[in-house]
Amino acid sequence: MEYVQQLVNGISVGSIYALIALGYTMVYGIVKLINFAHGDVFMVGSFVGFYSITVLHLPFVAALLVSMVVCAIFGMLIERIAYKPLRNATRIAALITAIGVSLLIEYGFIYVRGAQLEAYPRDVLPDFKINLFGAEIESQAILILGVSIALMILLQFIVHKTKMGKSMRAVSYDAEAAQLMGINVNRTISYTFAIGSALAGAAGVIFGVYYTKIEPLMGIIPGLKAFVAAVLGGIGILPGAMVGGLLLGVIESFVSAIGFSLWRDGAAFIVLILILVFMPSGLFGKNRREKV
């Protein structure tokens, strides 16, 4: 029964990684950029949710929506100020800029509000035990999983059923051809950053509710793990990011369950090394030749 409990916990944590990984993979699919500042957007979302709940006294759903809106705007600003001028620059220049933006957000945030930790209230979501196949599962884990799955389904609807989603897929396939067909590529890229950042903001609130403690450097490790999840599933592929995040969460939970809790964070990077060695295109990716 313990394995059922660990499986549910792993899927719940993995759903947080999946939400962050979706932002990585969407941006990479459109502009071929690894946005290392994405983990810090997740951190900002967590703090926006915290202040929405504690200062504005908003319920969980309202705080979640506020965080998503703020992070969407923040993501668009990052793209417009830091990445758009480098649209035709080398990839290494964009990558170095992404790392610089990440550090700027982290230490700018510390300069503004300090480095002290905050704690989410424990009564944000109903807290009781649910009996599942003989295992007692926390209600928060189930609710968080439900919210994450709902957001992933909403993303699939946006990408496959809306005009903007079709534009995103067209730009991802061939930006120049899409522009010739009348698609506004700059606006499509901005929307992509907005959607990915909104999902990271939602993940930040969910993380805060689940783990309680938040701090300005909290985006580093989850951001890197989400990147691993994106690579695991096949970076640039949305279903791959979802599956990769969930799978990584389950792996971590079972590593802790068998008594190697100190290796919990290391397990993600062992997975990354194995994927890069044996399956560099990821679980859902296809091998493609690329001229460098």
- Predicted local confidence at residue 256, as pLDDT: 84
Q: How many residues does the chain have?
A: 292
pTM above 0.85, yes or no: yes
Q: Quick one: tokens of 264?
A: 């919990």
Give every CB contact of residue 245 below 8 A, 6+ residues apart in sequence.
Answer: 14, 15, 16, 17, 18, 19, 20, 21, 226, 229, 233
Per 3-state DSSP, the chain is made up of helix, strand and coil in percentages (nearest 5) of 75, 5, 20
Q: What are 132's strand-pairing partners?
A: 135
The stretch 181-210 carries a mean pLDDT of 94
- Predicted local confidence at residue 287, as pLDDT: 56
Q: Which residue has the tokens 């994450």?
A: 148
Q: Quick one: tokens of 261?
A: 């809790």
How far apart are the C-alpha atoms of 243 and 155, rounded to whole Å?
Answer: 14
The stretch 276-280 carries a mean pLDDT of 88
pLDDT at 146 over 80: yes
Burial of 79: CB neighbours in 10 Å, binned 0-12, 13-18, 19+: buried
Q: Are strands 213-214 and 129-132 parallel, antiparallel or unpaired?
A: unpaired
pLDDT tens for 212-256 read 999 999 999 999 999 999 999 998 889 999 999 999 999 998 888
Q: Quick one: tokens of 193?
A: 């950053």
Using N-to-C axis directions, what is the helix angle for 220-233 and 264-278, rounded to 10°?
A: 30
How far apart are the C-alpha atoms of 267 and 274, rounded to whole Å?
Answer: 11
**Mean pLDDT score across all residues of the chain:** 90
The stretch 126-153 carries a mean pLDDT of 82
SS3 221: helix
SS3 225: helix
Instruction: Give the pLDDT band (50/70/90) at residue 291.
Output: very low
DSSP count for the chain of H helices, then E strands: 11, 4
Q: Do 202 and 92 meet the contact criterion of CB atoms below 8 Å apart? A: no
Q: Which residue has the tokens 């009348």?
A: 182
How far apart are the C-alpha atoms of 266 and 222, rounded to whole Å?
Answer: 12
Instruction: Give the pLDDT band (50/70/90) at residue 286.
Output: low
Lowest mean pLDDT among 137-141, 178-182, 278-282: 137-141
How far apart are the C-alpha atoms of 204 and 20, rounded to whole Å?
Answer: 9
pLDDT tens for 4-54 read 778 888 888 999 999 999 999 999 989 888 899 999 999 999 999 999 999
pLDDT tens for 56-110 read 999 999 999 999 999 999 999 999 999 999 988 888 999 999 999 999 999 999 9
Q: Is the dihedral of CA 158, 163, 164, 170 positive or negative?
A: positive
Cα dist. 154→98, 161, 244 in Å?
Answer: 27, 10, 18
Q: Quick one: tokens of 217?
A: 């450097």
